[in-house]
Every structure is written in C-alpha cells, then in structure tokens.
Structure 1
Amino acid sequence: MITATDLEVRAGARTLLSAPGSALRIQPGDRIGLVGRNGAGKTTTLRILAGETEPYAGTVVRSGELGYLPQDPKEGDLDVLAKDRVLSARGLDSILRDMEKQQALMAEAADDRVRDKAVAKYGRLEERFSSLGGYIAESEAARICHSLGLPDRVLGQALRTLSGGQRRRIELARILFAASDGSGKSDTTLLLDEPTNHLDADSITWLRGFLQNHEGGLVVISHDVELLADVVNRVWFLDAVRGEADIYNMGWKRYLDARATDEQRRKRERANAEKKAGALRAQAAKLGAKATKATAAQNMLKRADRMLDALDEERVADRTARIRFPEPATCGKTPLMASGLTKNYGSLEIFTGVDLAIDKGSRVVVLGLNGAGKTTLLKLLAGVEAADTGTIDPGYGLKIGYFAQEHDTLDDMATVWENIRHAAPDAGEQDLRGLLGAFMFSGAQLDQPAGTLSGGEKTRLTLAGLVSSAANVLLLDEPTNNLDPISREQVLDALRSYTGAVVLVTHDPGAAGALDPQRVILLPDGTEDHWSEEYQELIELA
C-alpha cells in the first residue's frame, strides 16, 4: 500500500501538482489510471510514488512489495542473461548458479570430503529453491516472457545483445513475475508507466488479462484507451490548468462522463459568478460617485473580487504542438547508401550483408520481428554505432535527422534550452524560442533538465531538434511512443506533409499509414520490397 499526503510536485520552477490537506492512496484491489495531458506530471508523480525521487513537499509512506516500470528503464548489468534478469525478481537466478557450481564440484571432486560438502550445500540450495517455487516458478517466468513476445532464444541471450524494446519487455516480465504466484494474486503494488510500449496486439491482450486479475494495487499510465477501459476501477486526473489531482472512484467509461459533467459545472459556476461580480461592480460604480456611499462601494468591489478569486482558473483548450518539418536542405538524387552492412553483438549475429539506397524524398519502413535489428540499423545509418563490416556512403548534401526511441540524442543533464541550442547551433535565439514555444516549451521550463521531462515531453523536444535541423533524411525510431492522442496526430500530420526522405521503424500502424511508404526493408535478411497492404497488417506483429 502507498499513501502520499500533502503532496507537492514540481519540475524545475513549475508546480505540477499541489495537494495540501489531501491524500493519494493505493490499496490492494485499486487499479488506478493516472491520466492527464503530456507534461501534467504523470511520470514525475509515479516516480515519487515509487521512491525514485522526492516530492517538493509532502510525505509518501509505502508498505509491502513494489514493482515499478519506468518509461526508460535504467541500464543495469548488460552482461546478465535475459532469463536470469527475470528470475532475479525472486532471487532464483543466484540460487540456480550456486546449484550448478555445486553440481560441478560433485562431479569433479576427487576428495570425498569436498564431494560430501558439495552434496550437503546442494541439498540446502535445492530446499531453498523449492521454497521459492522451484522449477514451477522457472516455468512460470518463461510463460510470462513468452506471453510478452520473448521467445526462448531471446531469454538465453545477454541483455546487451537485445534491442531497447526487448530489454523493456524483460523488465516488465521481471516485475510481473515478482508480483505473481501463477494466478496473478499478490499484495504487490504495481506502478507501470506506458507498459504497452513495444508490445504486439497479442501481448497487450494478455497483459490486460493479467492486470485485471492482479489483486494488489496498481497505478498505470497509458495512452491505450482499451487497456484503461478494461482494467482500471479508479482514475486520478492530473489537471495541468489547476495543478490539482481530481479523484474519481469509478471505472473509465463512467469517469469520462463524470469529468465532462464537472467541466460543464465549472463553466456554469464561473459564468454565474462573473455575472454577479459584474453586477456588484456596476452597483459599486454608481455608489462610488457619492461620498457618503464610498465605503459601501469599496465593500462591494471586495466582495466581487472574492467571488472571482474563489473560482478555479479558467480552462482553455489544451495546447498542442505545432509540428511542421521545414523544407529539407538541398541534396542529390540518392543522399544515403549502404552496402554489405553486418552487425554482431559478441557471437550473436543481428543481420548480415544489408544493402540499401535511400533516394531523395523516398519513404521506407523497416520491418522485422523484435530483435531483428531495426533499431540497430538506424543507429548504423545515423553514425551512432559502427558496422562490423560494410560501408555507409553519404551522397551529395546529406543531412540526417535521427530520432532515437530511447531519446538517446538528448543530454539528460542539460536543460531544454541547452539541448535545442546544441541541435541548432547556428540558429538565432528568437527563432529557437519561437520553435520551442511551438512545441509547448516556454518560460521557466526552458531551464528544466531534460532528464526530468516526461516521455511525451522528451519526444516533443527531440522533434523540435529535428525541425531545427532542416534534415533531408529522417531516421525515425518509434516517434509516436509516449504521446497522447492529440500530440500523436500532430506528429502524423507532420509526416504526411514532409517532403524529405524518411526511414521509419514503428509498431504504430497509423504512423505507417501517415507516411504512405513506397518501400519496405525486411530484417534480418535485408530484403527490399514494394510496400503493400499486407505489410500494413504486419506492423502490429513486428
């Protein structure tokens, strides 16, 4: 259980949430949807509940087990095997390694005393292993991994060899494994930030069922409306206008109706109060002309001011980013070519012998199962990583704009302003301030470290950098992740109108549709084909 009292949440100088005299509580059986527009403070609030950061004010009390999935999981030991990372949630990985070590000693020991000591230790380890679920638990971990689209071959690989999406699914599997006894029953509180990112349709369906059956607490941030509708029984709405959390003790569909009713009530209250305040001021103006009535007039004005001060801040339509890519820089007919690209991680071959040519204004989707090397290919083309063999040949005037799905191009320690200045060192200050304003960054937020931004805000800042670059080849890796529906549509509109070349990796069928691609590159073989509707259907499975 988690209780947050008198919570105040800030990002830099911005107050995102101020809840004096109130408490946010998560108890077993609560399945809470944490919602609000991008930048309202959802991710920051979840990090505070998880103990990853401290609130500006207020206290957070936690009891019981906790499972936290951030948008960008921290990098741990990348040399550990994926299956061991999942098993470590219950301490099974270290026990299994010790058991294997004692088995080796039992088989190799020439001294009976050494062998007897190994046998005794093996017995104690096996007893402990059984008490934690033993081989049934190991099978359960594999089942969870398979349900999240992680086959056995991936589980046997080191984390360093996996894609960002695969590593995130390993972290999700680890959290769910820790919270499950095989049926989903647990007193663990789950805090999940966009858990459906990088999942295919079947995995999302399975996850919904798991969360529906989870008997511990749950707080989930998600732009998957179907997941929210199927899973949550309470909603916390972070109102970015008022800086408050509205609590709705009801499911998703009833919440939507109740919130719409609340907004209409606030509008009526404001209209009535403004009408009464206007009448009081008009009356005060009449009385003020008479010296004998001056005191009464002042009292009327004060009363009118108190009436308006008591109202919630007037809600304006949620701002959206005005994303428009400028005309790309002049380039030759084929600005980007590559031949014979091969990439391995240790003994694991990701792909071999990939050839491609990106013509001016062409639109290409890279497809392949998770782990086939889609992200890796974009990193090679962007110059972030080097190929083991093969060459990348830039054509005349090539100017690349790279969007990394993990926001690797941002400096988390630098401010919003420093990041955009680095992306466009030759641009004028007023032009950059105008650009950031179009992407909803202004005022004190320009001095906010990029590492404190939400996933959606990081996406907008990265896109702002791309807009400032006038790139003629965009390499986009999951550009719609972490975006609310309105912001996502803005990105898709920008893709539709962009006249430069695009190489896109996405699990979002809408993004591929907006791009209107001409060609597809299938990994790991590197086969190139003309785009057709059958590939659109494969997007969700990729």
Structure 2
Amino acid sequence: MITATDLEVRAGARTLLSAPGDQLRIQPGDRIGLVGRNGAGKTTSLRILAGETQPYAGEIRTSGPVGYLPQDPKEGDLDVLAKDRVLSARGLDEILASMAKQQTLMEEAADDKIRDRAISKYARLEERFSALGGYEAESDAARICSSLGLPDRVLEQPLRTLSGGQRRRVELARILFAASDGSGKSDMTLLLDEPTNHLDADSIAWLRTFLQNHDGGLVVISHDVDLLADVVNRVWFLDAVRGEADVYNMGWKRYLDARATDEQRRKRERANAEKKAGALRVQAAKLGAKATKATAAQQMLKRAERMMDELDEVRVADKTAHIRFPEPAPCGKTPLMASNLTKVYGSLEIFTGVDLAIDKGSRVVILGLNGAGKTTLLKLLAGVEKPDLGGLEPGRGLKVGYFAQEHDTLDDNATVWENIRHAAPDAGEQDLRGLLGAFMFTGPQLEQPAGTLSGGEKTRLALAGLVSSAANVLLLDEPTNNLDPISREQVLEALRSYTGAVVLVTHDPGAAEALEPQRVILLPDGTEDHWSDEYQELIELA
C-alpha cells in the first residue's frame, strides 16, 4: 500500500533517517508503531509517507487511499460546521448542501420549469447520496464523533468556535469516517500522529478497538504505551544516534524485550572485541619496535581496526533536555486578577462571569470537559484574546509566561534562533546559545524553521522561550503533550521545583500530581474550590 525505497530524511544538514532498500513497507493488516525519541524524525517521516512533503532522497510509492492525521492539523475554512467537515471525507457535505439548495427552489420557485428542473436535480443528487451510504453514513459519522467525545451540539458549530482539542478530534473523526464503511472494512492506510492527544479515557478505549479492527494499514506515532501494546504488531524504531531505522516484525512487548536483548548482545560483543583489539595493539606495539616485524605489526593494527568496524554500534544513551522554569521576577502579593470574564462565539456562550485571583507562588488547575473553555480562559489571561465582558487586573510586577497547546507562541516561518531571540530580545547571544543547547538545539538546528520541527521539538523550543522570560506567573496549556517519557519527566521535575505561580490545563495526571495544586477552577461555571484527591481522580478518568 505504501513502500519507501532508499529513503533518506534530513532536517537542514542533519540526516534523520537513512533506510536503504525497501524495508519500510506498509501492507494491509500491518499496524506499525513508529517510535524514537523527540527529534528522531518520526513526524517528518510520517509527513513524507503521507505525501505532504518530499524526502531528501528515495521514492514513496502509494496504492490505495491514505488518511493522515498531523500533529497540528491546519484546517481550511473555519466557518464550516464541524458536522460538514467530517462528512466532507466522503464528499457528502457538498451533496447535502446542493440538495438543500434544490429543495429551497422546489418550495419557492414560481416558475414551473424552474421547479421541475429543481425536482429532477434533487432526485439525481439523492440517488448519488444514497449510493454513497446516504443517511446511514450520517449516522455512522455521528457515532464516530460521539465516540471521540464530540456531542451533537458541537457538530452544529462552526470550527472557529471550537477549542483546539475539539478541532483535532473533528479531524480524527473525519479520517476514521473515511476509513469506515459501517462494517469496519477498509483498504485505507491510516497515518496517525499522536491520535490520543485531547481524548478522554473512554474515547481512547474506543479508538483502541477501532484500530485493532482496522483491515487496512496503520502507522501510529504515540507516547501512549498502552495503546501501542494493545494495537501494534510491528515496530519501526528510528535511532536518532545512528540515523537509521530498525524494523521489528513483532508486537510491542516482544519488541521491548528484543531491544533490551539486542542492546545487551551489542555491549557484550563490543566488550569482547575491545579486549581482543587491545591485546592486538599491545602486541603490534612490541613488534613495531623491531624493523623486521614492522609489516606484521601493521597487519595486527589493521585487524584490530576491522574487528571494531564490523561491530554493531552500541546504542548511545539519549540526550535529555535540561528543563528548568525561570527564577520568577519579584512581584506583589497578587500579581494577576480577573473579574467577570465572559467569552462568547456568536450565539454560543463559552463561559460567563469568571472571577479569579492568582496569588504569588500559587498553584491552580483549570478543569472542565473538552470544549468548556479551558484553553480560551488561558488565552484571555495571557492577553492573546480579549474577553467580551470583564477584564484583567495586573498586579505589581506581573510578568506572564504563556505556553500554548498548539504552539501558537512560535513563528513557524522563523528559525529556532529567531524564535528564541524574539522571546528574549534583551538576553545576550551566548546566554541564548547556552539555553538552546540545554534544550538540545545546537549547530545547524538553530537555522531550522520552527515549522519543520516535530511536536516534541516545538514543545521544547516553546519551553525554552519560557525559561528565558523570568515570568512570575506561568500559564501552561498541556505542556506534556507530544513529549517522549524522558522529556516529560524533565517538565514534571521543572514543575515541582518552580517557585512562581502556575495556572495549569492538563489531561496528564502526572502533571497535576507534580504541581501539587492548592486550588481548582471548574469551567464553564468558573467555580473555585480547594484541591482534593477527588479532582486528581477526575483527571485520571478523563
């Protein structure tokens, strides 16, 4: 269905992946987990497989339909209804719109000829609609949307009124609707980049079952190890150190065992070879002192070099970012207050009359169902959007640091260096280079456009911008999304040690636990309460 031949993937001058031959193939029934650390090239490789961008070298051959969910979907017309966006996967939205137009003509036309043409055209459209599954397809789309946490009221809203998480679930629903004919049979190849982001526990369970039953090919990037364990039957591991792909034709648990066994083998072989090569070098040094034995000494040295060159490389431990949130700037007792915050999109009221006071060093979690306005509230507090009613009251010394769920604080067209320079215009060049190095951005990567970074790399770059800010109030919207386990733990450790105020939106129970919150704000009502274990359980269930 998709075959990559002699694939080479680069980011600037850096080679992310070199896969000679046609070892990277996706066939019906393959459920492939694409894994590797942040920055190994997973997202870039998936975009290439989807035909969204071209490889540095090699060829991609595709047969059959492909459904691609990028990490940050960029929808076109945000005035389209969510329902129509999903139905557009099979072209049903345009047919329904045309049917509605002809029905209006049938009812309102005074001219018999116009009415007759409208009736004839309506009949042809209805026949085509029926051939594509018609009203059963509408029901199927609604079922998929409901399973992903998109209720009917959301489906009747324009995309621009939805939260980032809701829009992403609409895109996922659209792809799964295209891959389903109602019976689950499909020859579509699904390419899914972090599909569980923004999903609650019930939706993840439903998605897991859908993917297990999918008959076409599947490649999934996910840091949800439970999903990988239950779904994948093959693994592609992108080794960021060697710039190569290892293919494992086995499930997740066997893959983990095989990786561990393979690394132990490589270490044993290298230790034995180093011991033998060392002995050969010592002997060569002794022989080399005698002119008559010089040729034998050279042969021994060459043999030692061959012995080491023929070894499989031992995997070098992954580098990790050194994430530490900033030392907060001095401020007053209550650096940020807001009163009567109200946000409305058209006739849709997101929330109304929200009051809050963020005290120095306080730890606050915002909770609510998807679409309750959590991200919107953070945007209002950050000054990114304006409320329809109410306002902010900044206290003495307020300095806000904002981490956006969709990386909106980054300029995709600017380089890594330009982004960090914009975030900290007054910082010295050497200090910024050191900061980027701590976040694993060095050398040619500094000139790489931010739009070409993976989701995890974008998260690290946005966090680097926060570190340079000396903020005393951090507004964090899903800061652990898209991070590999090591980087996620770094963020959690940074949360534990930060002494400024934090307002957190998260679906990650570990993030809330690391924060040790004092208060919770419940949306859409804006109710404030003391934090308790019940709220921790609520995040775990969500």
TM-score (norm 2): 0.98
Distance 1:22 1:438 in 2: 37
2:330 maps to 1:330: yes
Question: In the TM superposition, what is the alpha-carbon distance from 1:422 to its structure 2 partner?
Answer: 1.4
Question: In the TM superposition, what is the alpha-carbon distance from 1:139 to its structure 2 partner?
Answer: 0.2
Which residue does the alignment assign to 1:350?
350
Partner deviation per Cα, 1:321-371 (whole Å, 9 max, x = no partner): 111223200000000011111111222211111111100001111111111
Distance 1:65 1:437 in 2: 41
Task: Determine helix, strand or coil for the equivalent of 2:64.
Answer: coil
- Identical pairs, percent: 88
Which residue does the alignment assign to 1:235?
235
CA contact (8 A) 1:242 1:312 kept: no
Task: Determine helix, strand or coil for the equivalent of 2:468.
Answer: helix
CA contact (8 A) 2:342 2:389 kept: yes
2:37 maps to 1:37: yes
Which residue does the alignment assign to 2:282?
282
Distance 2:397 2:501 in 1: 13
Task: Determine helix, strand or coil for the equivalent of 2:316.
Answer: coil
- In structure 2, list runs of 5 or more residues that go unmatched: none
Distance 1:416 1:184 in 2: 43
2:531 maps to 1:525: no
Question: In the TM superposition, what is the alpha-carbon distance from 1:291 to its structure 2 partner?
Answer: 1.3
Distance 1:228 1:518 in 2: 34
2:2 maps to 1:2: yes
Question: In the TM superposition, what is the alpha-carbon distance from 1:476 to its structure 2 partner?
Answer: 0.2
CA contact (8 A) 2:64 2:187 kept: yes
Which residue does the alignment assign to 1:485?
485
Distance 1:314 1:537 in 2: 42
CA contact (8 A) 2:3 2:22 kept: no
Distance 1:22 1:100 in 2: 49
Task: Determine helix, strand or coil for the equivalent of 1:381.
Answer: helix
Task: Determine helix, strand or coil for the equivalent of 2:529.
Answer: strand
Task: Determine helix, strand or coil for the equivalent of 1:466.
Answer: helix
Give the partner amino acid of 2:40: A
2:425 maps to 1:413: no
Task: Determine helix, strand or coil for the equivalent of 1:192.
Answer: strand
Task: Determine helix, strand or coil for the equivalent of 2:215.
Answer: coil
CA contact (8 A) 1:415 1:446 kept: yes
Distance 1:123 1:345 in 2: 37
CA RMSD of aligned residues (A): 1.2
CA contact (8 A) 1:7 1:23 kept: no
Partner deviation per Cα, 1:32-51 (whole Å, 9 max, x = no partner): 00011111111111011001
Which residue does the alignment assign to 1:187?
187
Partner deviation per Cα, 1:402-460 (whole Å, 9 max, x = no partner): 00000010111111122112111222222222222221122222221111111111111
Which residue does the alignment assign to 1:115?
115
Partner deviation per Cα, 1:79-102 (whole Å, 9 max, x = no partner): 000000000000000000111111
Which residue does the alignment assign to 1:211?
211
Which residue does the alignment assign to 1:316?
316
1:70-81 aligned within 5 A: 70-81=70-81
Which residue does the alignment assign to 1:394?
394
Distance 2:55 2:269 in 1: 32
Which residue does the alignment assign to 2:253?
253
Query: Greater CA deviation, 232-241 or 281-290?
Result: 281-290
1:138-157 aligned within 5 A: 138-157=138-157
Give the partner amino acid of 1:85: R
Which residue does the alignment assign to 2:514?
514
Distance 2:451 2:30 in 1: 30
Distance 1:163 1:135 in 2: 28
Distance 2:156 2:483 in 1: 33
2:476 maps to 1:476: yes
Which residue does the alignment assign to 1:373?
373
Task: Determine helix, strand or coil for the equivalent of 1:349.
Answer: strand
Which residue does the alignment assign to 2:19?
19
Which residue does the alignment assign to 1:442?
442
Distance 2:102 2:541 in 1: 42
Distance 1:393 1:10 in 2: 47
Distance 2:149 2:541 in 1: 10
Which residue does the alignment assign to 2:101?
101
Partner deviation per Cα, 1:159-183 (whole Å, 9 max, x = no partner): 0000000000000000000000112
Question: In the TM superposition, what is the alpha-carbon distance from 1:306 to its structure 2 partner?
Answer: 2.3
Distance 1:128 1:47 in 2: 33
Which residue does the alignment assign to 1:404?
404
Query: Greater CA deviation, 145-154 or 307-316?
Result: 307-316
Query: Greater CA deviation, 224-233 or 266-275?
Result: 266-275
Question: In the TM superposition, what is the alpha-carbon distance from 1:385 to its structure 2 partner?
Answer: 0.9
Give the partner amino acid of 1:216: G
Question: In the TM superposition, what is the alpha-carbon distance from 1:540 to its structure 2 partner?
Answer: 4.4
CA contact (8 A) 1:241 1:313 kept: no
Pair 155,131 (structure 1): closer, same or farther in 2 beyond 3 Å: same
Distance 2:437 2:229 in 1: 34
CA contact (8 A) 2:266 2:313 kept: no
Which residue does the alignment assign to 2:225?
225
2:459 maps to 1:459: yes
Partner deviation per Cα, 1:38-85 (whole Å, 9 max, x = no partner): 111111110110011111111100110000001000131100000000
Partner deviation per Cα, 1:254-296 (whole Å, 9 max, x = no partner): 1111111111111122112222221221121111111122222
Which residue does the alignment assign to 1:46?
46
Task: Determine helix, strand or coil for the equivalent of 1:469.
Answer: coil
CA contact (8 A) 2:351 2:373 kept: yes
Distance 1:147 1:43 in 2: 26
CA contact (8 A) 2:361 2:502 kept: yes
Task: Determine helix, strand or coil for the equivalent of 1:437.
Answer: helix
Partner deviation per Cα, 1:143-166 (whole Å, 9 max, x = no partner): 000000000000000000000000
Which residue does the alignment assign to 2:427?
427
Question: In the TM superposition, what is the alpha-carbon distance from 1:312 to its structure 2 partner?
Answer: 3.6
Distance 2:295 2:414 in 1: 55
Pair 273,21 (structure 1): closer, same or farther in 2 beyond 3 Å: farther
Give the partner amino acid of 1:220: V
Question: In the TM superposition, what is the alpha-carbon distance from 1:391 to its structure 2 partner?
Answer: 1.3
Question: In the TM superposition, what is the alpha-carbon distance from 1:537 to its structure 2 partner?
Answer: 2.1
Distance 2:540 2:44 in 1: 29
CA contact (8 A) 1:5 1:21 kept: yes
- In structure 1, list runs of 5 or more residues that go unmatched: none
Distance 1:310 1:446 in 2: 34
Give the partner amino acid of 1:77: D
CA contact (8 A) 1:369 1:541 kept: no
Question: In the TM superposition, what is the alpha-carbon distance from 1:188 to its structure 2 partner?
Answer: 0.1
Question: In the TM superposition, what is the alpha-carbon distance from 1:541 to its structure 2 partner?
Answer: 5.5
Question: In the TM superposition, what is the alpha-carbon distance from 1:309 to its structure 2 partner?
Answer: 2.3
CA contact (8 A) 2:82 2:157 kept: yes
TM-score (norm 1): 0.98
Distance 1:370 1:541 in 2: 13
Question: In the TM superposition, what is the alpha-carbon distance from 1:22 to its structure 2 partner?
Answer: 4.2
Which residue does the alignment assign to 1:62?
62
CA contact (8 A) 1:10 1:56 kept: yes
